[in-house]
Structure 1
Amino acid sequence: MAVYGIDLGTTYSCIASIDDVGRPAVQRNLEGTDTTPSVVFFESGENVVVGQTAKDTAVLEPDNVVSLIKRDMGRDVTRPIHGIDFTPEEVSAFILLKLATDARTTTGEETRDVVITVPAYFGVAERDATRKAGRIAGLNVIDIVSEPIAAAITYGVLNPESDRTILVYDLGGGTFDTTVIALREGHIEVVCTDGDHELGGADWDARLVEHLAERFRAEHPDAGDPLDDRQTEQQLRRDAEDAKKALTSRTSHTVRVMHGGRVASVEVTREKLEELTKDLLDRTVEITGRTLATAAEKGVEDYDDLVLVGGSTKMPVVAARLQTELGLAPRLQDPDLAVAKGAALYAFEETYRRLVREGAAERAEEMANRAGLSAEQQRQIAGRKIRTVASHAFGIVVVDRETGAESVAHLVHANDELPAARTEDFFTVYDDQASADIRVMEQAGVVESADLIDNTEIATGEIRVPPGKKSGWPIGVTFELDSSGLLNVTAVEKETGERLELKVDVGGMSEEEVERSRKALSRVQVS
């Protein structure tokens, strides 16, 4: 049985599986490339194009093309196109379906069982939305796994010679994460993680776009602003990305900016790009420093390797700056493909272990034999453990009985080991209180804070209180956060035993809407 790992990226996506000698291998798309631009062109409501053609079309029909949709995952927003409101989950489903369909065409095998990766710093809403996107695409999502874990799995398989403590610096097209991971006797343990899911290569591109437009305006002040024209803006974004990539191997690159019948030839040097984006790189260094400080609090201070993941780490300034700051020689670890390969390994191992647990030994052995695994490798897979941590803090809103002020009491904290479960008693505020609101909150800021403004409400419910109770009547609240980062909350009134169960179902779409979208998408032609 074939299983797949999918790196659903902000700017590029990739799918991989395990080949017949047990190695992770990327499945090329029908255009013959390893990665597919995460861009969707809605030719009509019934015909959708994903990938490079969609990216090329953005210059001509920018209003019908969607990119960077990953930054909207978990938000209750839609993109209106051809009179239809598409959710982020639905747009992402088109990308997933393109990857799965191309893989099936290439391999001749069903592409259904998948593991999808997300940034380590994605919260509950974003992870839930990603899972739903997979289901809308008709896929069986085995699990959601963090990108640094996937990269670490690839790294551990390729470098199994000894135990290591590694710092994964993952700068992708739209997100940034930094994670400390310990590899011990084949097991993987996440020590801590931090990041920003709105910081990535697209922000470097945006700075370059502004620079190109500014240079054009200076040379042709009477020609108008090229950024006021959607088609010109899209062309500038493509040119900026191309220039950024060219400057990884060259020290200068010339861009022709055309608008309103005028042309400006703008030379961009690597030094200028680094100057324009210094504060963006500074932010990644600051987050990395915060991660190292958290790891030190947990007793981890020495590192064997600094592993660079994500296409944006190819910029020479990234490795140079990190080596200066951290004193570690960075290693580029297959930056564009490592996450998809690690997800494929994770999908394979999880499926193998599930078959063993369920007593399907013959199917597990058949799967292992097909991948060319030795008995020792099968033993290692069966025993491998992966431990991860919470990316954010979670809690509920509480009210100060004296002042009436609201704040957040966190039950699960960022970088707590997963799965995490904690029960705590909370108490009613007033005499004869008929019910208690359970408002579940997730940390929204970069650090944990009790202030409501620094948290996001992700679920809410109400539990009844028996009549005639004085203030201070207890309500037991339990938070359970699983290893995928998905949360369940239970509140119990102890006298009557009444229970309120909140399976935090966020991301903008209900289960009924997911099913309707899945059926609707099945009627859309995706290429």
Structure 2
Amino acid sequence: MAVFGIDLGTTYSCIAYVDDVGRPTVLRNLEGTDTTPSVVFFESPDNVVVGATAKDSAVLEPDLVVSRIKRDMGHDVPRVRHGRPYTPEEISAFILRKLADDARTDTGEPVEDVVVTVPAYFGAAERDATHKAGQIAGLNVIDIISEPIAAAITYGLLNPERDHTIVVYDLGGGTFDTTVITLRGGDIEVVCTDGDHELGGADWDDRLVEHLAERFEQEHPDAGSPLLDKQSEQQLRRDAEDLKKTLSARTQHVVRVMHEGRVATVEVTREGFAELTRDLLDRTVEITRRTLDTAAAKGVTSYDHLVLVGGSTKMPAVAETLQKELQLEPRLQDPDLAVAKGAALYAFEETYRRLLRAGEHDRAEDMAARAGLSPDQQERIAARTIKTVASRGFGIVVTDRDTRRRTVEHLVHANDALPAAVTRDFYTVDPGQTGVDVEVMEQAGSVESGELEDNGLIAEGVLRIPPGKPAGWPIEVTFALDTAGLLQVTSRERETGEALELRVQIGGMSEEDVAESRAALSKVQVS
């Protein structure tokens, strides 16, 4: 009974499982690498290519390639390829299918039950979209967990000797978050989290792209910008990513920028690269400081380690700056693979615990035996708890009866302990109202605000009211946010003898949409 953990990344993804000696193991793809580029090439309406080949195809056929789709999760921004619009969930499903198919080839076992990780700062809509991407890919998504929790599970496995309080600094390809976590006797508790899901290593790449293009234009002002030609731009992006990686090992490197038959030779130093991107790194430090301040308000003021996760933390400037600014010793911990390994461990342990709770002790024991777990290890797994917090605040739009001003009243707040269930009464504004609009809002900025523009609409619906009711008629609203960060909103009109209930589904795709996409995309070949 194999279960798998998937790190679905902005730029690279990978999949892992617990092997027959109880170790979390990353499975290599058919190309022989641990990580797969999160790039999709729509070769034809019936054939999709994912990974390194797709990334290479971006240079020659950029209009048929999609990358960085993770940044669009939870948003209605379809990409049209071969005349068909594909949602972010569907494009992510192709990446998940590639990972699952390659893992099945590697292990000889079907990939069905999975845990998928998301950035800690992902909101309800993004988490729901990730869950639906897994469903479209034909997978049973056991749970959605935050990347820092997955990293902390791996950290706990590698450092079992004592309890720890750690800061997880997670700088991936497209997202950044920082999380304070305590590990006590094997239990994991998130104290607080913060982040920016539009800040990541891809932004460092973009700065290099702009710099290289600018240097080319300075040398060849009559040739135009390479950024105005899609093929030249894609090649430049490949060169910029390679340059970034090279500057992690070398102090300088030379790049040849080619466009319109012209060539510019550009030398970039590690120091120069750090200066180009100083403000980006400073933003991560600012968010980390804010997280430490929030933790301090909760009574956590000392730390054992600053754990660096995500491939972008391999840039030397990251560790150097964090140590200087925060006076914490950074520890680079398997940055590319730690999240997938932690997700695999979580998937294994959660499946084991669910079997025990369901009374299926024989299956649980068989699962433990296959992984070579001792009775003590089984006992620890059965007892382990993981506690997390809300990444953002959630509320509904309310209208002042006198001024008619519309604001957001939050029922769940950022860093509230999960699961959270809050019920509150709200009231109609006008006499004789036959319905109320239920508008579910999510905190958009780093600070909670009641202003509409500081929040994003993630779901809406209409609850009908019996006729003839006076103004101020009560409406009960319940927000239930589970440990995966998925939100369920229930709005109820209470009256003797009857009750009307509206369930608001978070996310752009309905369950019917998901089923249709799963059926349609199952006919598409993914390689």
Same fold per superposition (TM over 0.5): yes
Conserved 8 A contact 1:461-1:500 = no
Q: Which amino acid aligns with 1:504?
A: Q
Q: Which amino acid aligns with 1:470?
A: P
> Which range is displaced more, 160-169 or 459-468?
459-468
> Which range is displaced more, 31-40 or 468-477?
468-477
Rounded to whole Å, the distance in 2 between the matches of 1:431 and 1:101 is: 59
Conserved 8 A contact 1:458-1:504 = no
> Which range is displaced more, 381-390 or 472-481?
472-481
Q: Which amino acid aligns with 2:213?
A: A
Q: Which residue of 1 aligns with 2:313?
A: 313
Rounded to whole Å, the distance in 1 between the matches of 2:485 and 2:288 is: 22
Q: Does 1:322 align with 2:313?
A: no
Q: Which residue of 1 aligns with 2:97?
A: 97
Conserved 8 A contact 2:462-2:502 = no
Rounded to whole Å, the distance in 1 between the matches of 2:220 and 2:465 is: 71
Percent of aligned pairs with the same amino acid: 74
Q: Which residue of 1 aligns with 2:524?
A: 524
Q: Which amino acid aligns with 1:499?
A: L
Rounded to whole Å, the distance in 1 between the matches of 2:491 and 2:516 is: 31
Q: Which amino acid aligns with 1:502?
A: R
The 3-state SS of whatever aligns with 2:44 is coil
Q: Which residue of 2 aligns with 1:419?
A: 419
The 3-state SS of whatever aligns with 1:58 is helix
Q: Which residue of 2 aligns with 1:29?
A: 29
Q: Which residue of 1 aligns with 2:503?
A: 502
Conserved 8 A contact 2:207-2:276 = yes
How far 1:503 moved relative to its partner?
A: 4.1
TM-score (structure 1 length as normaliser): 0.99
Conserved 8 A contact 2:392-2:413 = yes
Q: Which residue of 2 aligns with 1:514?
A: 514
The 3-state SS of whatever aligns with 1:125 is helix
Q: Does 1:409 align with 2:414?
A: no
Rounded to whole Å, the distance in 2 between the matches of 1:417 and 1:87 is: 32
Rounded to whole Å, the distance in 1 between the matches of 2:219 and 2:459 is: 53
Once the two structures are superposed, what CA deviation does each residue of 1:336-387 show, in whole Å capped at 9, x if it has no partner?
0000000000000010001001111010000001000000000000010000
The 3-state SS of whatever aligns with 2:134 is helix
Rounded to whole Å, the distance in 2 between the matches of 1:286 and 1:501 is: 41
The 3-state SS of whatever aligns with 1:363 is helix
Q: Which residue of 1 aligns with 2:455?
A: 455
Q: Which amino acid aligns with 2:46?
A: E
Q: Which amino acid aligns with 1:149?
A: I
Conserved 8 A contact 1:490-1:499 = no
Rounded to whole Å, the distance in 1 between the matches of 2:134 and 2:6 is: 10
Rounded to whole Å, the distance in 2 between the matches of 1:40 and 1:457 is: 29
Q: Which amino acid aligns with 2:38?
A: S
Q: Does 1:444 align with 2:444?
A: yes
Matches within 5 A, 1:87-236: 87-236=87-236
Q: Which amino acid aligns with 1:317?
A: A
Rounded to whole Å, the distance in 2 between the matches of 1:81 and 1:128 is: 24
Q: Which residue of 2 aligns with 1:280?
A: 280
Q: Does 1:346 align with 2:346?
A: yes
Conserved 8 A contact 1:486-1:504 = no
Rounded to whole Å, the distance in 2 between the matches of 1:492 and 1:249 is: 60
The 3-state SS of whatever aligns with 2:144 is strand
Rounded to whole Å, the distance in 2 between the matches of 1:409 and 1:119 is: 25
Once the two structures are superposed, what CA deviation does each residue of 1:410-443 show, in whole Å capped at 9, x if it has no partner?
0000000000011111111122222222111111
Q: Which residue of 2 aligns with 1:364?
A: 364
The 3-state SS of whatever aligns with 1:22 is coil
Q: Which residue of 1 aligns with 2:15?
A: 15
Conserved 8 A contact 2:488-2:506 = no
TM-score (structure 2 length as normaliser): 0.99
Q: What do you get for the CA RMSD once the two structures are aligned?
A: 0.9
Conserved 8 A contact 2:463-2:502 = no
Conserved 8 A contact 2:461-2:504 = no
Once the two structures are superposed, what CA deviation does each residue of 1:26-79 show, in whole Å capped at 9, x if it has no partner?
000011100000011111011111111111111111111110010111111111
Q: Which residue of 2 aligns with 1:377?
A: 377
Q: Which residue of 2 aligns with 1:39?
A: 39
- Matched positions, count: 526
Name stretches of at least 5 consecutive residues in structure 1 with no aligned partner. none
Q: Which residue of 2 aligns with 1:81?
A: 81
Q: Which residue of 1 aligns with 2:391?
A: 391
How far 1:504 moved relative to its partner?
A: 2.5
Q: Which amino acid aligns with 1:505?
A: I
How far 1:444 moved relative to its partner?
A: 1.1
Conserved 8 A contact 2:209-2:237 = yes
> Which range is displaced more, 8-17 or 157-166?
157-166
Rounded to whole Å, the distance in 1 between the matches of 2:261 and 2:436 is: 65
Rounded to whole Å, the distance in 2 between the matches of 1:59 and 1:466 is: 60
Conserved 8 A contact 1:462-1:500 = no
> Which range is displaced more, 152-161 or 453-462?
453-462
How far 1:469 moved relative to its partner?
A: 2.9
Rounded to whole Å, the distance in 2 between the matches of 1:370 and 1:74 is: 38
Conserved 8 A contact 1:4-1:343 = yes
Q: Which residue of 2 aligns with 1:268?
A: 268
The 3-state SS of whatever aligns with 2:339 is helix
Once the two structures are superposed, what CA deviation does each residue of 1:146-191 show, in whole Å capped at 9, x if it has no partner?
0000000100111111111100000000000100001011100000
Q: Which residue of 2 aligns with 1:2?
A: 2
How far 1:461 moved relative to its partner?
A: 2.0
Rounded to whole Å, the distance in 1 between the matches of 2:462 and 2:262 is: 63
The 3-state SS of whatever aligns with 2:143 is strand
Rounded to whole Å, the distance in 1 between the matches of 2:458 and 2:57 is: 37
Conserved 8 A contact 2:166-2:306 = yes
Q: Which residue of 1 aligns with 2:241?
A: 241
Rounded to whole Å, the distance in 2 between the matches of 1:78 and 1:483 is: 29
How far 1:278 moved relative to its partner?
A: 0.5
How far 1:475 moved relative to its partner?
A: 1.2
Rounded to whole Å, the distance in 1 between the matches of 2:478 and 2:441 is: 13
Rounded to whole Å, the distance in 1 between the matches of 2:61 and 2:490 is: 48
Conserved 8 A contact 1:397-1:440 = yes
